[in-house]
Every structure is written in structure tokens, then in C-alpha cells.
Structure 1
Amino acid sequence: MVHEEFFARLNDIGYKNWVKAGCCLLKIKDGLHGYVNKAMKCFHEMLINNNHVLQKGQRCNYDCRPKGNQLYNLCKLCEEWRAEILRHHTNRTGVVNWGNCKPCLWPSHHWEIAKAYMPRGLASVTGGEQCDASALLNLITFCDYFSFINQCHVREVIGKRNELMHSCEMRVSAQWMDQYRRSLDQLLGQLRHIPELAATGREIHKMLSVDWTVSPPRVDCMDGLETDDVSQLVDGPVQAGLEAGDVSQLESVLLRERLQELLHCTQLQDPPDPQGLQELQGLRDFLQSQRDLGEKFQTELLSLGSGEPQPHQTGTAAQPTESN
């Protein structure tokens, strides 16, 4: 059942915008991951075909792996793969997240190559479907295989995503939403030849065009019981192909992503970033203040209250606009 707190939150225009903007990111992820996976398979094959050393089809016999975020004492084959990865990196002077990768798998697993162009914290990810939109967009930015895409538009969407996920109050204005819509339109306009992303663009346009008008749960005059037919409670999302239960679930996904990102950021830094800790405390207070969210996030809140670290869920790490 959808709680009344949910309807109160969705009647806050700024918070409603935050949820709608986050839902667009989820749709971009769904539209992108299949395309990016196919592209990285082609990229992997291209690297092999253009390098006479890699063409020999050798496999790493030394189980080469990173130490932290560094690569030491690689075998000759893995060194050749590293050189190829760097050759196609758009920010060769920046820090590459080698800690994401298992170099011994580079000859046979295309996604291990992809992770070298992505933000840190994705070591256990094995495919694009496990990544969020920003991780996939960072890959598009830092791998020159995607150089045909206007990178300014990609970075704009990444920047908007970071503003959204680091909004302390989890509210954004109508003006911000207009800018966000333009950024999405510019990016997806370049990719409309890809069927999945053309469909994503239509879905996002529909979602942003309707007003999510919210009504509180009605009381049945015959027996005094609240209705459980949530499909009638939110008019706007229904027009966009969603029901109240769907929106509530998407809200939980976004909040969990933000929680995991904040936890990941604070765990990576010693001492932890004060701003990150402040944002984490604010999110914890918000979840505890909402009865329905307190129930959904009970395990996480108990762990936060005890000071125990949360296990990091891959694919939801903080996504910087630069590889670091």
C-alpha cells in the first residue's frame, strides 16, 4: 500500500521535480546499456585486430591484478593491453581507475576494458546493465570510440546528474528542470538513430510533459476503508505510463542510489569529507522522518545508526565528470 507520506512528498513541487528528473536518468540507463555493451564488443575486437601482439590470441598466465588503483609488474601481454587502453583514453594525463579492472581478463572480456574508462568503485560490475546512467555516460566521455558524439552534451547531462544527486534538500526548481530537459534533448537527439534511445527520448518527453497531480487516498463511503486502488491516485504518472506504486518504487531506487553514493564517497576518503557526512546525515534524517521510507530502509538505517559501514552496491557509486 502507498502511504499518505508519499502523497505529501509528491505534492512538494521541488521534490516532485527531483523524482521526475531521477526517473529520466533511470530511463537513460535502460536505453543506453544495451547500445554501449554492443559498442564495447566492437571496440574490443578493433583493439585486437589493430595490434599484432593482441592478434596472437594469448591469455594472461600470471593473473595480473591491480593493487589499489595502481598496476604494478604486469606481464608483457597486460602491458600491451594497458597501452592500448591509454591510447584511446581522452584524458591520458588524468588518473585512470585501474582498480575497476582485472587485467588478466582484458583479452577475453570486453567489459573489463570498458571499466578502465569509468568512475572508481565498479570492480565487481560485469555488464552495462549493472551501471547507472552516469557511469555509462562517463564511459562515452573518456573512450574515444564514442568521439562522434558531441562530448559537451554528454558532460552537461553528467553535470546535471551530479547536481541532482548532491542536492541536499532533494528539490530542484522549474528553471533547473527546463535546463535539464534541454540537456537531455541535445544528447538524445544525437542518438535518435539507435532504436532503444529513440524510444527513451519519447518516454522522457512524455514524463516531463505531464503534471503529476496527486490526490490523497480516498475513503470508501460505504465501509470507511481506504481504497487500495493506487492506479487512480496519481493522474499525471498514469498518463506517462506509470502508476502510484511504480512512482513509489522509482523513488526508492533513487534514494537508495543516493544513499549508496554518499556511503561510498565517505568510505573512500580518510578522513571522510565533512560535506559528504553532512549530506549523509541529512538523508538519514529525511528517511527517518517518513514512515513509509523508514520501513523500506529499515536495515540501512539500523546500520547507519550503529556506525557500521554499508556494503557497496556496484553500479551506484559517485560518478564524477572526470575519471579519478
Structure 2
Amino acid sequence: MVFAELSVRLNDIGYKNWLKAGYCLVKLRDGLQGFVKNEMRDFHQTLSRKNPQLRKGIQCRQGCKPRGNQFYDLCEQCKTWKEEILKHHTSRDACVHWGNCRPWLWSTEYWEMAKAYMPRGQLDIPGPEKCDAAALLNLINFCDRFNFINRQKVREVIKSRNELMHSCEMRVTPQWIVQYERKLEELIQELKHVPEVTSAGQEMRELLSVDWVVHIPGQDYVDGDESQFVDPEVISTVEAEILQESLRELYLKAQEDSSANAQQLQELQKLRGFIEANKDLKEQFHNQLLQVDNLYLPADLLTNQESKRYKQEEEHDKEEGYVPQKKKKTLV
């Protein structure tokens, strides 16, 4: 049966709570997207109008871009935009992920500027519609355009979100859920002037009050369970989105760190073990797990793989009738 394995997973109260908490983040994200889009578009226009250098409307002609997380030889226009971004950052000590941005578009694309206030991994995200909740919440927290919002309320939700996504067991307790719901309510009150957030808040309350049950045809249920039934397609989609986000964070951590620490390896092993233990998830996330696993292969194994590949290429070249130039081995 298509959702039989999902139904079994939902018998675990801790996992069910984990999914519910993740679903709340999805709803919060949906409620924030339009609000953040309007605010940052207006903010970009304000900066362009008030700064004399930016008011000239000059566009970058040399394709300025960061190397890693650093800039070298910025043109005057991009340098001015960088200064403005830092001026409006709420934390002078925070790491700004310049690698999120395409600086040559700062003059014309408001979202390229907005991404400087977000966590790493946003380079190919074209707008708020493709962001996760963490990206939008960090933008609100680190850009002073949102000074009218109590930043502590935002940080509390970010903290809970990180606890949720970094949970090796992918389970949370009922007590944790109670505290989480309180933090969400406090943030929603801060944004009660945003209709989409208010609506999202109502949906969160409703989903947290229901004990999710997936109906499997042919199975018997206790009378009254029908009121707890949730569309299995909805739960399955949310589950996939949350697991995908966890995998993505692991991948970004692995890319950023040259060597995996014990905690990262533990998170990866737990997540891999959980997915591989569930046939439906294993099939769905097979390629993503391979992509993450490859980043943790020992250096000598990678070297052996590269050597084998080059040997195969050379043998192929000889079969084609010519001797290739010696190739430089570059590990990616």
C-alpha cells in the first residue's frame, strides 16, 4: 500500500511531533513570503534613492563576485552596495555569506541584496517563493529593515527550528511542542498586521490540535478516529520537504568543512539509517544520500577513484589512436 509505511512511522509519537513542528515551519514560510518580498523590494528602492552613488543608477560592468566568502577588486558601485548592506546588518560580528549573492545584480535585483542576510546556500534561490523558513527568519533577524519586529521573538523561533532540524533522532517530546507552539504564537502576534501570517497561525493551531491518522483502506479504526484523519498526500509531501531540508543542511556543512566532525557524522549516519530503514524514503532520497556520502569518503579512496578514472580515460585515448597529454589530477 502506498502510505502503509508512512502510517507505521506516525505510530511513533516523537516522530509525529517532529513532522507537525516541521509542517508549522512550512506554514510560517508561506505566510512570510509575500510580506518579506514587499518589504525588501521597498527597502532596495529606498537605498537606491537615498545613497548619492547608488542614485546614479550605474550598473556593475566587471562582473564582481566573491571568491569563497571574500571580495577582491570590487567596482565602485558594488563596493557602495556592500557598504550599505553592512550598514543595515543588525550584527557587526555575524558572518555575512557573500557567496549567496551575485553582486553585479545588486543594482537591479532586490533579492540579490536580501540574500546577504541569510544563511549559506542561497545562491540559486531566485526569490522568497523558493526560500525555506530559516532563510526568511534570518533575513528578518539580521536586516534592520525589520526593526519594528521584536527580534528576540524571531530568534526564539530560529532556535527551535535549529533544534528541530538538527535532531539526530528526528523526534521531539510533547513538552517541546508546547514550548514551540508558544514561541510561534508570540511571533505571530508580532506580525498580526500581516493577513497571510495570521491565516498561517490559524492553520498551525488546527494541525497541532489534531492527532494525525493516515487512513489505509481495509484497516479497522476506532469510532471517532475519522475526525483525526489527515490527507496522507499532505503528510507525505511535508515529510519529504523536511527530510530534504535536513539533507541539504548536511550537504552544505560537508561542503564547507574540509573534515567532518563527530557531530556531523552522527547526524549523517542517523539520517541515512532512518531513510534506508524505510523503503519508500530510501527510493525517494537515494541520489541525495549518495551525493552527501561522497563528500565524506576518505581522501585516499577519492584519490584511488580519481586514478582509476584517469587510467580508464588514457586507455580509451589509446584505443582511439593517439597518446594524450599528461592530465593534471584535480580532486573536486
TM-score range, shorter chain: 0.7 to 0.9
Flag the structure with larger Rg. Answer: 2
CA contact (8 A) 2:254 2:295 kept: no
- Counterpart-to-counterpart distance in 1, 2:92 and 2:292: 38
- Counterpart-to-counterpart distance in 2, 1:217 and 1:294: 24
Report the structure, 1 or 2, having the larger helix content. Answer: 2
Q: Does residue 1:199 correspond to 2:187, yes or no?
A: no
Residues 152 and 100 (structure 1), Cα distance of their counterparts in 2 relative to 1, 3 Å cut: same
Q: Does residue 1:47 correspond to 2:47, yes or no?
A: yes
- Counterpart-to-counterpart distance in 2, 1:284 and 1:233: 33
- The residue that corresponds to 2:228 in the other structure is 236
Residues 300 and 98 (structure 1), Cα distance of their counterparts in 2 relative to 1, 3 Å cut: closer
- Counterpart-to-counterpart distance in 1, 2:34 and 2:271: 32
- The residue that corresponds to 1:86 in the other structure is 86
Shift of 1:170: 0.5
Normalised by the size of structure 2, how large is the TM-score?
0.84
Q: Does residue 1:101 correspond to 2:101, yes or no?
A: yes
Residues 42 and 2 (structure 1), Cα distance of their counterparts in 2 relative to 1, 3 Å cut: same
Q: Counterparts of 1:272-287 in structure 2 under 5 Å?
A: 272-287=260-275
- The residue that corresponds to 2:233 in the other structure is 245
Unaligned runs of 5+ in 1: 221-231, 310-324
Q: Does residue 1:269 correspond to 2:269, yes or no?
A: no
Shift of 1:283: 0.7
Shift of 1:237: 4.9
- Counterpart-to-counterpart distance in 2, 1:148 and 1:32: 15
- The residue that corresponds to 1:224 in the other structure is none
Structure 2 counterpart of 1:271, one-letter code: S
**Alignment: residue pair count:** 293
Q: Sequence identity of aligned pairs in percent? A: 51
Q: 1:289 aligns with which of 250, 258, 277?
A: 277
- Counterpart-to-counterpart distance in 1, 2:259 and 2:265: 10
Q: Counterparts of 1:142-221 in structure 2 under 5 Å?
A: 142-214=142-214, 216-218=216-218
With 176-185 and 100-109 compared, the bigger mean Cα shift is at 100-109
- Counterpart-to-counterpart distance in 1, 2:111 and 2:135: 13
Shift of 1:300: 2.9
CA contact (8 A) 1:2 1:244 kept: no
Shift of 1:95: 2.0
CA contact (8 A) 1:97 1:120 kept: yes
- Taking CA–CA contacts closer than 8 Å with sequence separation of 6 or more, which of the two structures ends up with the larger relative contact order? 1
Unaligned runs of 5+ in 2: 297-332
Q: Counterparts of 1:118-129 in structure 2 under 5 Å?
A: 118-129=118-129
- Counterpart-to-counterpart distance in 2, 1:259 and 1:145: 31
CA contact (8 A) 1:214 1:235 kept: no
Residues 15 and 293 (structure 1), Cα distance of their counterparts in 2 relative to 1, 3 Å cut: same
Residues 197 and 57 (structure 1), Cα distance of their counterparts in 2 relative to 1, 3 Å cut: same
Alignment partner of 1:111: what SS? helix
Shift of 1:267: 1.9
- Counterpart-to-counterpart distance in 2, 1:56 and 1:73: 21
Shift of 1:274: 2.1
Alpha-carbon displacement from aligned partner over 1:244-295 (angstroms, at most 9, x marks no partner): 1211121111111111211221221011222112111111111111122122
- The residue that corresponds to 1:112 in the other structure is 112
- The residue that corresponds to 1:320 in the other structure is none
- The residue that corresponds to 1:255 in the other structure is 243
Normalised by the size of structure 1, how large is the TM-score?
0.86
Shift of 1:94: 2.5
Residues 298 and 271 (structure 1), Cα distance of their counterparts in 2 relative to 1, 3 Å cut: closer
Structure 2 counterpart of 1:77, one-letter code: Q
Q: Counterparts of 1:3-82 in structure 2 under 5 Å?
A: 3-82=3-82
Shift of 1:236: 2.4
Alpha-carbon displacement from aligned partner over 1:26-69 (angstroms, at most 9, x marks no partner): 11111111110111000001101211111111111111111110
- Counterpart-to-counterpart distance in 2, 1:141 and 1:67: 26
CA contact (8 A) 1:2 1:248 kept: no
CA contact (8 A) 2:88 2:145 kept: yes
Q: Does residue 1:298 correspond to 2:286, yes or no?
A: yes
